[in-house]
Amino acid sequence: DLISACDAVVVATPLAARAALVAAALENGCAVLAEGLPAAVRAQVDGLYHKAGAGGGRLGAGRSDPAAMALALCAREVEPPRLIEVSRSAPSTQRRSEVGVCLDLMVDDIEAVCALMNRPPVEVRATVSAGRGERADAIEATVRFKGGAVARLRASRLGAERSHLFRITGREGVIEGDLVTGDVRGGGPDLKERIARSCAELSDARALLAPDAPARPFAWPATHLALQIEGVCRAQSL
């Protein structure tokens, strides 16, 4: 009854319950903003996006910390990157126990990288530097994209304090951002203000109902890439 009375729904439950709730909301014609990945199985992820597309619905993978995606959406307007470097850490007290660090912390950055690259990945390498398999607490990944551009991502939930650094290198310069402090350098004088506006839109399910709702075509391939990195790390632990 509650879902049928809503125009937009935010799903922020534990991961195991998320896919069924997203599906139910889409079937009732709701715009859905799912906090993090709506499922941890590729077939379920594909099914949800297909359901949204077939029914004319809108499904967004929202983030509790959307700064990386906001930076990516704004930096895309400058030029295609040659190298993206991301380093992120959080104290162990912020750990989500149901998933490893890739689906916990790194997935936000993976989606931002896919938005910036806007091309398919062709090679994935990953190393678990702490923990085992899908419960890994620290991961380093290198992803090569079609055309030769490279992304290097590091994520750990064993840090002493929260940190989140983003560096985008293109032919015409560098954009650097400390996404904890909000300090951004490069990319034009108004980049910081545009990032702040984008953050607000990405955090609000009502934005999905607007005629010019934020386009998120990279959320689907980003989900696949995150699960692929998880698979590489799981294979190392066997």
Highest mean pLDDT of the ranges 25-34, 84-93, 144-153: 144-153
Residue scoring higher pLDDT (196 or 143)? 143
DSSP string, 142-193: EEEETTS-EEEEEEES--SS-EEEEEEEETTEEEEEETTTTEEESS-TTHHH
Mean pLDDT of 147-176: 91
Structure token pair of residue 65? 């910390």
pLDDT at position 151, please? 96
| CB 32, CB 59: distance < 8 Å | yes
φ, ψ of residue 152 in degrees (nearest 5): -120, 120
pLDDT at position 159, please? 87
Where helices occur in the chain by DSSP H, the ranges are 15-27, 42-54, 67-75, 101, 107-117, 191-202, 219-237
User: What CA dihedral angle connects 194, 200, 203 and 207, to 10 degrees?
Assistant: -100
* C-alpha pair distances (Å), 85 with each of 22, 27, 71, 155, 170: 32, 39, 13, 11, 12
Nearest Cα to Cα of residue 206 among 17, 14, 30: 30
CA distance 92 to 164: 15
pLDDT at position 98, please? 63
| CB 8, CB 31: distance < 8 Å | yes
Question: What is the per-residue pLDDT across 180-236, written as a single tens digit (0 to 9) for each?
Answer: 998 988 877 788 888 888 887 777 767 777 666 555 555 667 778 888 888 888 777
Residue scoring higher pLDDT (36 or 17)? 17
Beta pairing, strands 83-89 & 59-62: unpaired
Question: What is the per-residue pLDDT across 19-70, written as a single tens digit (0 to 9) for each?
Answer: 899 999 999 988 888 876 666 677 787 888 888 888 777 887 766 678 888 8
**Where does the pLDDT of residue 74 fall: very low under 50, low under 70, confident under 90, or very high at 90 and above?**
confident
pLDDT at position 95, please? 63
